Structure 1
Amino acid sequence: MKQQFTFPKKLIATAVIASMAVLSGCNDDDDDTSEVVVDPTFGGIRVIHASPDAPAVNILVNGDAAVTELDYAESSGFASLEVGSYDIAVEGIIPGGNAEVINVDGFAIDEDAMTTVIAVGAVADIEPLVVAASEAMPDASQVSLVVTHAAPMAPAVDIFLTAPNDDITNMSPAFNFAFKDSIDVGAVAAGEVRIRAAVDGSVVFDSGTVDLSGFAGQKLQVTAIAAENQVESDASPVKLLVANDTDAVEIRDASTSAGARVVHASPDAAAAAGGAVEVWATSAALGDMPAELIASFDYTDKFPEMGNYAGVPGGDYVFDVSPDGAGVGGSVFTSGTVTLEAGMEYSVIATGRVTSSPAFTLLPTGDSNRAIATQASVKVVHGAPAAGDVDVFVTAAGDFSVVEVESQAAGDPLLDEFTFGSITDYVAVTPGSYDIRVVAGGMVAINLEGVQLDGGSVSTVIARGPSEPAAGELTDFGVIVLSN
């Protein structure tokens, strides 16, 4: 698979800190005053976030925020600083207040030096790794590379940098390096290359064909970092972050798939279909022929049953839902196009009603499953059509009773008038024990007490209704919880 990259256009808060010394002097003529402007000299500094379980960070220069919300596998781009000495701090963004995780006093910025500071290691022992730019000056047909091993759990590896179709069986590696090592590879042709990493002769990372022509004439920092979710780690324990002066892109193992999981939360689908349903997927990635994704699927079921995600080729998909055994020709629902990107993970929630409103639909949501040691991450989905608009309260375990929540003594809800089909962003909470209540019509419809949310956990909480049609009042509300 050929990978060709252009840098995405996104906003990154990068400080450019500069000062000019202006000197005023007088000549013999008191009326003739001139200014002498002294141009300072500059160097550059860039920060790369490579700590796999650390939160997003702020970068402070002499106590002032220079880069904000730099997340894992991101580069700040270079900031220009006047030659001198600076205090550099890295501040982790955590629930309830930020915490300084790295502090380097008296960091020297030298003239014309382009220095990269990489935050490496797990959050418990995070540290700065200072890497100089390549000494090689690439011409218009070359790129120069510095390669750094920043994946703390990965062993020392042999690196092969070759033409795309080269057989490395009897080839000597370009170099071997271990965690925190950096190698100045020098200038190489800015064309199609293939990067492979091997341990004891077994390839553990294969980039496939990568086209470097878009980087011609540039100096690149290539950082091997840890995979951050199941589908990435299923292909390889590492990926590459390629940074130029302003931005960065990721190169995953060429075999990396997309991850998909599906949840059945439609309360009347079984009644309408006469039992379980089956789910079909059609995509060019599957040869444009419908493939049965789920053979028999009933209310509150999750697919896959074992493991978090099923690996599927990245691409555009159309899903069909049929009564069990009817085949794709018996489809009673066809989705719009759902794009599943390689290396990303997605939950697809079947909800709504087949026989009435709100209508049956599929709710796809992208999942961010990186475990962050300093927080629990929670996403909430309203998938209970019988509930209408609801309020969602998340409070420390034991702080408020159900009666206090219903009487509004528990303060404002986390989610106010949360409508059916809505999906929140992830909410970062301090690890601990929580009571989660969903209030519909002034009454607590879902009551979860003492829910333990551990540091590093990532949860998707789906509010569901009772199976329909139901005798009597609809009181059997509940949740389906998905975790990383």
Structure 2
Amino acid sequence: MKLLRKFILVFLSAAFFISCADDNDTINTPVRELGKAQVRVIHASYDAPAVDVWVNDAQVISNLSYGESSGYAELEEGEKNIIVSAAGTTTPVISATVTIIANQELTIYAVNNLTSIEAIISEDDRISSGSAKVRFIHAAPDAPAVDIKVNNGMGSTLFGNAEFKTIADYIEVPEGTYNLAVTPAGSNAEVVILGNVPLMSGRIYTVMAQGTLSGDDSYPFNVRTYVDNNQGISFVDLEVATANVKVVHASPNAPAVDLLLNDAVVGTGLTFPNNTGYLNINAGTQNIKVNVSGTSTTAIEGDILFDAYKDYSVFAVNNVSSIEPLILEDNLAMPASGKAHLRFIHLSPDAPAVDITLTNGMVLFGNVSFKSYSEFTPFDAGTYDLQVRLAGTETVVLELPGVMLENQDIYTVFAKGFVNGTGDQALGAQIIINNEVLGL
């Protein structure tokens, strides 16, 4: 799993002096001369030099570098001797006899490391449909078998148990923008989530994993998505999907804490009742630890699923002997003009259920018990005098005068401390401006 987490997405431009935007305009149905086939070559052998390709002793491709596609070219039907050699030489590194059938469309992939370089061949279905067509090819020699799923590791499986040299069949999916999760085969644990993958109706895609997981070479694992329409050279860049996560120290009598993400320290010395601000992390299931600051003593630990492009707050709550996480998804949609959004959370461990009211007794949030919370609720922008009352009574336990809600800001107010606490642990309220912390 640690090797799998070395996945780095790197995308290079296509060669042959054709713009990567070339296939992003008009989709052309391939037109073949009768009796001929369409064939392209993709160089996916990570440590092999640029190559030349020969067909029946005639050079047809020159200086094709790792990661590049030659684009489709016509070949006469019949038996062909295909030779791949290092660019500028004639010594074969791959020699194969391929029977070309009229009207076929093929891609020949040079895969594996240089000492074990070999060819695998896919038959390409380049007839467009009303949906997007996608297939997956596993060309990373040291990567284990994987599943490709929609959204996260619990999502629907598009391609299952794809091991090295697997060429999955095309599938049709509705047009849209997808988040694709890569998991070890048979597992729900996301290795990486690829975000905002645009799949357009009428387009045909080959998604290929290549490179290595080893940190000891210069060929990092990468994923490239070729568009098979038209000349078959252009590609769609992917990105690692992220999420924003804010950690709030809301345990009144807990010491300062350090935060670890997958055992890497991402924050130190967080004290009650402060927060980290939003941390931008990779989406997916992440291991979160809250340690007593400066020590390896873990107070909270959990594997938490953070969906792509969503915002979360993780509150460390309760008294120190019972400290636990409260994980909330933050809806940071911008309020309408003249409005602000406000959420209330009850995080005072020994306080009973409360109402949040105006001074005239109007209840804004009613009967909120410990660890309960409201949704973000719209209010007119302005200044409010608020009161915290015992639920269902007129007994005021806390005055909150002059709470200013600015136009189009988003707020979280949480009750903090102990009922009879003193100093920093006294009963009170803490205000977080969510979109200010995020920098919106």
TM-score, scaled relative to structure 2: 0.45
Q: Which of the pair has more CA radius of gyration?
A: 2
TM-score, scaled relative to structure 1: 0.41
